[in-house]
Amino acid sequence: MIQPNPESNTDNEIAPPLNVSVNPLLSRMAVGASQAMFSLEAWQTQLDGVPGGAEFMAQLQREWLPADPPDAFCAQLGETCKAHIAAWHTGWPNLWAHILRVTGYALRIAPEVGVPPDQAYALAVLHDVGKLEEMRTGEPHTQYGAHFARQQLAGHYTRPIMNAIAGAIGKEGQTSDTLAHLLYDADKLDKIGAAGIVRRVSLTIRPERALSMVERVTADLQTFPPLKHRAAEQMALVKRTFTASFIASLQVE
């Protein structure tokens, strides 16, 4: 049985504007949330030969940063998180792709704020592990994620570090501003740009609904907040510029 999509209720999609059209590139992105599109190579294959695909892939390559685990513990933690979200929901690949991109952003920003790469990796790879559980149990994914993080990190980090990571994921009152701000920036960055577009459009398998997904990215662009760190703002500027240009390219005269 196909489960509800983890990121979108298609019955509540925003109607696309009348002066925008679906093009072959958008149609090719509509692969469905269950497809394993969590690598640049997968998207390169999918968009190869499509008009505008090369330009789009060039931007996606700028945005999709490496999310390599910095040590053996992080490598195992990543596998544990992947297995956990893949356990029951058919749409887990879309969520995993998001988690990997957020992890890449977090690793890029971390040196600016003095967060060790292993802690940045753990924070990001764990941050949405409860997203699908929220659909099943109703427990807020931030609360579930904080509990899951404490289970996985106990015995590896000191209690203060473990609680700081879990607290940032759970948005707890006594959390570290440094880790909370790092996660905030990394998570927001995946809402716009080429990554934000493929994240949303790939949720559907129906090309005619692709524009509704673009509308969500458009809304995120219009309300995109200031970020906390210089490296994040630099990435956001590139992403905002590309998003606006891409949306303009869809306009029908």
Q: What is the CATH classification number for the domain harbouring 190?
A: 1.10.3210.10
Domain region containing 96 = 29-253
Which pLDDT tens digit goes with each residue over 167-192?
999 998 655 699 999 999 999 999 99
Provide the pLDDT confidence category of residue 21 given band limits of 50, 70 and 90. low
Confidence (pLDDT) at 8: 41
Confidence (pLDDT) at 174: 57
The answer to whether residue 223 is domain-embedded is yes
Which pLDDT tens digit goes with each residue over 212-233?
999 999 999 999 999 999 999 9
The answer to whether residue 14 is domain-embedded is no
* 70-98 mean pLDDT: 97
The answer to whether residue 142 is domain-embedded is yes
Provide the pLDDT confidence category of residue 13 given band limits of 50, 70 and 90. very low
Q: With a threshold of 0.85, does the pTM exceed it?
A: yes
pLDDT at 10 over 50: no
Contact residues for 76 (Cβ-Cβ < 8 A; gap 6+): none
The answer to whether residue 18 is domain-embedded is no
Q: Quick one: what percent of the chain has pLDDT higher than 70?
A: 89
pLDDT at 7 over 80: no
Provide the pLDDT confidence category of residue 11 given band limits of 50, 70 and 90. very low
Provide the pLDDT confidence category of residue 3 given band limits of 50, 70 and 90. very low
Number of domains observed in the structure of the chain: 1
* 80-89 mean pLDDT: 97
The answer to whether residue 176 is domain-embedded is yes
In the numeric block, which tokens belong to residue 242? 């590309």
